[in-house]
């Protein structure tokens, strides 16, 4: 998983990439890019 400042380029890498909001263990929301067909394109903002 890549950690990026901006997810705009990570989201446009593949047409199957989705932007989702997930909560971490402390309750803080984190933006993530997931791709079910090509999992190596995962990224999170941070």
pLDDT digits (tens, 9 = 90+) for 1-46: 899 999 999 999 999 999 999 999 999 999 999 999 999 999 999 8
**Can you give the pLDDT at residue 3?**
95
Structural domain of 41: 2-45
Decide if 3 contacts 19 (C-beta within 8 A). Answer: no
The H-assigned helical ranges of 1-46 are 8-11
For residue 46, the model assigns a pLDDT of 83
Q: For residue 9, which of 41, 37, 39, 40 has the smallest C-alpha distance? A: 41
**Count of domains for the chain:** 1
pLDDT at residue 4 in the model: 93
């Amino acid at each position: 998983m890549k950690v990026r400042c901006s997810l705009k380029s990570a989201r446009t890498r593949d047409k199957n990439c989705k932007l989702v909001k997930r909560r971490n263990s402390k309750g803080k929301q984190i933006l993530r890019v997931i791709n079910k067909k090509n999992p190596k394109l995962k990224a999170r903002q941070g």
